[in-house]
Structure 1
């Protein structure tokens, strides 16, 4: 069993060590893996996160641009941090959405952000992570934002963790909390796991 804190530190260090060109290459592979393993064109709503490039997060823009380029019927939404610093609201992302970077370095739709999308509307959510275990429990940055959000989604919503680190799930995470929401699947540049 592994504790979250050392898993988080190791993953952040591994990701920081990746050259930008390698992050870009792996991000393209992640895009291909998503479209290979999931029925993206059949979804009505897909929740995506906009990457923090300085943290070498997956370049989700490759997925977003492919959805738009192929004119797929799936609609996209992104999170917006609320003033309480604890909760997220979700707004549609279109090619015309104006974005601004918040104080965490995350791009968000500018107010007024357009129609809010309820968590229950999502068919799938792409979830950022640093590590995951064989039961689908994830290690994120530790703020609990995504666990609170995923707990509000509908029972049919699929939670898909996504990482540029091409690593298999660890055997187990020792300090899983009752509020942690497990993933249904996990994507890396090299493949997919289902839980």
Structure 2
């Protein structure tokens, strides 16, 4: 089995090779799948993220949530608790800044902070995913910690990815948090709590 960092390099390279037309098609296809999820339809507080390094473009998805009257929250790297994220309410007029990774995030303002356990849907970025719902991130563990801390009884985690990010079987660590849903342009991967195989 290939080392995690080697898989990251290969998949990120494949992702960056996608054309603007392919990116646009993928973004709208995943947006349609995401907005049709029953958990999204029933939710008000949805955590999303801004795309980076060839990730699936989340702008159409964010706009669709706004148009549906839902509140969107973006991650902010916690300034004091290493490896953790905060989630701030995001609107078209939210002041933004670049974090230590060069990713745009809202300027920290506790007036717009939502406790993680109040998030109802958490869309997660990923570098690769496999047939068991395991995700491979960038290696910082931010979303594994976020998902472990999210205590909302009906919270749903949804991975967003291009089809080229599918990997047969990923090497895992004990702290890795598998996802119940992963959406790609061509497929909705869904794993139940008792079934390790994709249901659709």
TM-score interval w.r.t. the shorter chain? 0.7 to 0.9
Could you tell me how far apart the structure 2 residues matched to 1:159 and 1:40 are?
Answer: 10
Post-superposition CA distance 1:113-160 (Å, at most 9, x none): 632111111111111112112221111111111111111102431111
> Match of 2:87, SS?
strand
Are 1:190 and 2:186 matched, yes or no? Answer: yes
Could you tell me how far apart the structure 2 residues matched to 1:115 and 1:129 are?
Answer: 26
Could you tell me how far apart the structure 1 residues matched to 2:110 and 2:94 are?
Answer: 8
- Residues 76, 108 of structure 2: 8 Å contact kept: no
Structure 1 unaligned spans of 5+: none
> Match of 1:114, SS?
helix
Task: Provide TM-score, normalisation by structure 1.
Answer: 0.87
Match for residue 59 of structure 2? 61
Mapping 1:25-40, distance limit 5 Å = 25-40=25-40
Could you tell me how far apart the structure 2 residues matched to 1:186 and 1:125 are?
Answer: 12
**CA-based RMSD:** 2.0
Could you tell me how far apart the structure 1 residues matched to 2:56 and 2:38 are?
Answer: 18
2:129 aligned to which of 127, 132, 139: 132
Are 1:76 and 2:72 matched, yes or no? Answer: yes
Structure 2 unaligned spans of 5+: 192-200
Residue 56 (structure 1) shift:
1.1
Structure 1 residues 184 and 133: alpha-carbon distance in aligned structure 2, compared to 1, 3 A threshold? same
> Match of 1:151, SS?
helix
Residue 168 (structure 1) shift:
4.5
Q: How many residues align?
A: 189
Of 111-120 and 146-155, deviating more is 111-120
Task: Provide TM-score, normalisation by structure 2.
Answer: 0.85
Structure 1 residues 10 and 38: alpha-carbon distance in aligned structure 2, compared to 1, 3 A threshold? farther
Could you tell me how far apart the structure 1 residues matched to 2:147 and 2:25 are?
Answer: 29
